Amino acid sequence: MSEICKYPIILVHGLFGWGDDEGLNDRLPYWGANTCNIKQHYTEQGYKIFAASVGPVSSAWDRACELYARIVGGPVDYGKVHSENAQHRRFGRYYNEPLVEKWDKDHKVHLVGHSFGGNTVRMLAHLLTYGDPDEVAANPDDCSELFKGGHEDLIGSIVTICAPHNGTTLFKAVDRFKILPLMKVVVYNYMGLMGRSPAEGTIFDFHLEQYGMSDTPGQRDAFPLRRARKMYAKNKDNAEYDFMPHGAKQMNDYIEISPNTYYFSYSYNAVSINFNGRHHIPWDTDFKFLAFTSSFILIYNHFFRPPGDYTFNDYANDGLVDLPSAMFPKDEPYKYYDEKDIRPGVWNVMKTRQGDHGTPIGLFAPVEETFELYDSMFEMLRGIEKRFESPAKELPAAEEEPKPAKKAPVKKTAAKKAPAKKAQPKTVEKAEKAAEKAEKAVKAVKSAKAAPAKKKKAPEKAE
């Protein structure tokens, strides 16, 4: 690579993940897993790259609020309205130092989210662009800047890797086979006990002080375990609900794509079709456990999926996320990646790669393949930066239009009307000249009828 990215790159982990703020990351980096250290590798090349820490089991909304506070510094504000609806604390921890030195329209950031980190960065982009009117209306004098919107120029690009944009049938499967309730009991008790231990904040961090499941760093303010566990369990404001297809649909109904941001999605597939073309079987995955979960998804989709269930027709998956879910959100515009036609405000869907859910972060994956992915990704992001540096050199749009989103067409129509307003003075001038010629023609040839028609058309063009 001849050049490196000028904008900082912020990596956002997925479900049960961790970042730089956890001591575990020094022993086992999330980005690189057991084979390499992605952040260290590219930092040594001169990149400004960060591995942010957010709640490993929190909702996309809560994680977006935490990510925002981590980038700019200051308190985590989950929003007055949201916190009241979720029945948890409004404020979380306080960050003394911002993650990046400067963040404005001239100093953008690239956000790269793996798994649920992809949903997190999408939510952050939406709130920065459109804000949340309910939060502003409920608390106009003390509202976080995040909820005010109007900051659509802060993010240069969003890259999602194996993200469950439309949820995953794996969670439907474990719920169908009555495994989910047992998992909840184990996980909730584990989080509650470990969130009060010395390991919380030193080795790992659940970021669940809003629920009282863990202590706020530097304080002893966790709720009694039984109360905190019950409070968290009865709530939909968590990753479990957002992973469900119906929860993901609700989130997608809320999120809108940001028109000035470039979106890219990477998907992986660990499933193949056997010789008769009918039965899907898991490949030899890098992480063997994901062959089991992949089979779980296939069994559910083949034999137990209810008619009309909000799920996916394609049984391909990466062991955790269905392939159609990882490619793009169902209700947002998309097009398949073309290096000669990269557009903002639309999902540029990359070619599906072979591997499982852990392959792109280096989990039991060949080191060369891991770095090849990020080499090509960061080179592409550098090309995006050049577009912001020289907007006039944008490549022309392709003939094929992307599939429209629920609200995107409104924005596109408005954008197309703008040039017509700029051309208005020239149109009026032409209309006046046409009227003068018409008037002369009437005097010269009284039988001419074309002139009045031109007089009627001129005001229409002028409008």
Dihedral (CA of 253, 353, 116, 379) sign: negative
Question: What angle is formed at CA 65 by the lines to CA 376 and CA 183, rounded to 5 degrees?
Answer: 85
Do the bridges between strand 271-273 and strand 49-52 make them parallel or antiparallel, or are there none, so unpaired? Answer: unpaired
Nearest to 365 by CA among 377, 353, 376: 353
As a whole number of angstroms, the longest Cα–Cα distance in the chain is: 99
Residue found under tokens 């005010």: 148
Cβ atoms of 205 and 18 within 8 Å: the answer is: yes
What stretches of 168-244 show up as alpha helix (H) in DSSP? Answer: 169-176, 180-194, 225-233, 239-243
Within 8 A by CB and 6+ apart from 381, the residues are 5, 7, 9, 110, 156, 157, 159
Candidates 21, 215, 318, 322; catalytic one: 318
Residue 292 has φ and ψ, to the nearest 5°, of: -70, -50
Q: Which of 115, 144, 294, 325 is catalytic?
A: 115
Question: Active site includes 322?
Answer: no
Query: Catalytic: 357?
Result: yes
> Is residue 26 among the annotated active site residues?
no
CA gap 214, 201 in Å, rounded: 10
Catalytic residue annotation: 115, 318, 357
